[in-house]
Amino acid sequence: MELHDFFLALALVLLGARLLGETASRLGIPAVIGELAAGLILGPSLLGWVSSSAPLEILAEIGIILLLFEVGMNTDVYRLARTGTKPVFVAITGFVLPFAFGAGVSWYGFELPLMASLFIGGTLTATSIGITVRVLADLRQGSSDEAQIIIGAAVLDDILGVLALAFLYQFAIIGEVTPTSVGQVSLYIFMFVALAPVTAKLVAYVIDHYDRRSASPGLLVTMVVCLIMLFSYLAHLAGAPLILGGFAVGIAMGQRFRLRVAQHLRIPFSAAINRAMDAAPHLSEHLEDQIRPLIRVFTPVFFVMVGVSLDLRTVDWGSAFVWKLASTLLVIAIVGKCLAGYCIRENRMRQAVIGLAMVPRGEVGLIFTQVGLANGLLNTEAYAALLIVIALTTALPPFALKAIYARRHLKVAPGE
């Protein structure tokens, strides 16, 4: 892409996201739907003015990483811990059911090859945490009890999805998956998730120390963005999704993340560690004010590019096989995730919200389909059916969630 073409495409993406996002909000629709629609309109599905390219995909990736950083900052890890095993049950159920039924129906019902069926099942396990948290934020439910369960389950779903993709890809290329490779990747991801927030918190203490003494503005936000990118790179090295790097740094920078080292344990530098963990709350507030404009600029790029990636012209709308496969997979994709919400003990409204919030596939599902298509594991009909499923599972849940919350509001309002 020529530089001037990139500037024009970026201007169209930002303008389209702003106009349609604002229009959606004024109509009472989550803004993310407007941004996805902007991608469909600007992309190859309709006008063809914007296409997927490396520079735009990089900006989109930065947008989702910054969004997950913001989510991490607003996540109360202790409140999340108090949810206990609920996110684990939701994630595992939402992973196993769509995978098993999706792969089984594709293989037995539609007689697709085994690897194609496994990739289809893997695609249906995906949950787009970026779309999920954005919808909850648009509905002003980002700090609700159910949101904590959803965030935890979606992060676990992302990890399980990446592991499944890695193993399926290895099986497709090498022809086998060894227990050693499975254990190694799993261990690396677990260590990263456990150690990254603590390490980032210690680095945050150093950043805060020098920011107080900085002679020029901008040091805080510059160093934190560097930290986010570094931890995203480390997440990739560990075999984890890039977005977990931003999420880990966000948790570390949040006001609610505190750890204490008991003095009697005589751990080296324990006093310094405790000072780092007790970094002044002003750091989080100051950082939020500075980094929020960056998040508001880059995040819409991601959602527009999700729409751009959905080339609906590749769908053979006249193929009965495509529609039968798409309809069957759509039912499995929605029901499998919704049942995950009902596997835990919560009131009916929260169960419905949790299940629906896990439905959007978005970019995670697209990664599965693109890997399968690029390696010749999916034929064009299976790919087209999956595009239909991804598009509908991404677009429909925000409307359902909005309706559920609106209904709850009407029930609560008379008694207020």
List % helix, strand, coil for the chain (3-state, nearest 5): 80, 0, 20
Using left for φ > 0, alpha for ψ between -120 and 50, and beta otherwise, residue 111 falls in left
- Rounded distance between C-alpha atoms, residue 257 and residue 197, angstroms: 9
- Rounded distance between C-alpha atoms, residue 32 and residue 36, angstroms: 6
Q: With the CA atoms of 175, 177, 178 and 183 taken in that order, what torsion angle do they form, in degrees rounded to the nearest 10?
A: 160
- 151: tokens are 């965030």
- SS3 (DSSP) at 83: coil
CB 51 within 8 A of CB 22: no
- 91: tokens are 């994630």
- SS3 (DSSP) at 377: coil
Select from 329, 350, 373 the least CA-distant residue to 86: 350
Domain count for the chain = 1
Asked if residue 267 belongs to a domain, the reply is: no
Asked if residue 243 belongs to a domain, the reply is: no
First to last CA, the chain: 57
CB 226 within 8 A of CB 209: no
- SS3 (DSSP) at 375: coil
The H-or-E segment that residue 17 falls in is: helix 3-26
CB 315 within 8 A of CB 47: no
Question: What was the pLDDT predicted at 415?
Answer: 39
Question: What was the pLDDT predicted at 255?
Answer: 63
> Which alpha helices (H) appear in 126-144, and where do they start and end?
129-138
Select from 393, 390, 332 the least CA-distant residue to 365: 390
CB 319 within 8 A of CB 384: yes
- 403: tokens are 């309706």
Averaged pLDDT, groups of 10, the chain, 416 residues long: 87 93 79 83 89 87 83 69 78 90 90 85 80 75 77 77 69 63 72 78 75 74 87 81 78 66 51 56 70 86 82 77 90 90 83 86 70 74 83 81 72 40
- Rounded distance between C-alpha atoms, residue 291 and residue 218, angstroms: 10
Q: Can you give the residue range of the structural domain that contains 63?
A: 3-177+292-415
Select from 194, 162, 183, 195 the least CA-distant residue to 91: 162
Residue 179 Cα distances to 156, 167, 185, 394, 409, angstroms: 21, 10, 10, 34, 50
CB 193 within 8 A of CB 248: yes
Give residue 376's Cα distance to chain centre.
26
Residues in the chain: 416
- Rounded distance between C-alpha atoms, residue 324 and residue 388, angstroms: 11
Question: What was the pLDDT predicted at 20?
Answer: 92
Using left for φ > 0, alpha for ψ between -120 and 50, and beta otherwise, residue 376 falls in left
Question: What was the pLDDT predicted at 416?
Answer: 36
> Tokens 């990139």 identify what position?
6
- 164: tokens are 């499944």
pTM of the complete model beyond 0.85: no
Q: Read off the CATH number of the domain in which 88 is found.
A: 1.20.1530.20
Select from 97, 110, 100, 165 the least CA-distant residue to 328: 110
CB 247 within 8 A of CB 69: yes
Question: 4: exposed, middle or buried (C-beta count within 10 Å: 0-12, 13-18, 19+)?
Answer: exposed
- 218: tokens are 């901008």
Strand runs labelled E in 117-167:
none
Asked if residue 203 belongs to a domain, the reply is: no
Asked if residue 251 belongs to a domain, the reply is: no
Q: Please give the single-letter amino acid code of residue 203.
A: V
Asked if residue 17 belongs to a domain, the reply is: yes
Asked if residue 371 belongs to a domain, the reply is: yes
If you ran DSSP here, which 8-state letter would residue 143 be given? Answer: T
Asked if residue 280 belongs to a domain, the reply is: no
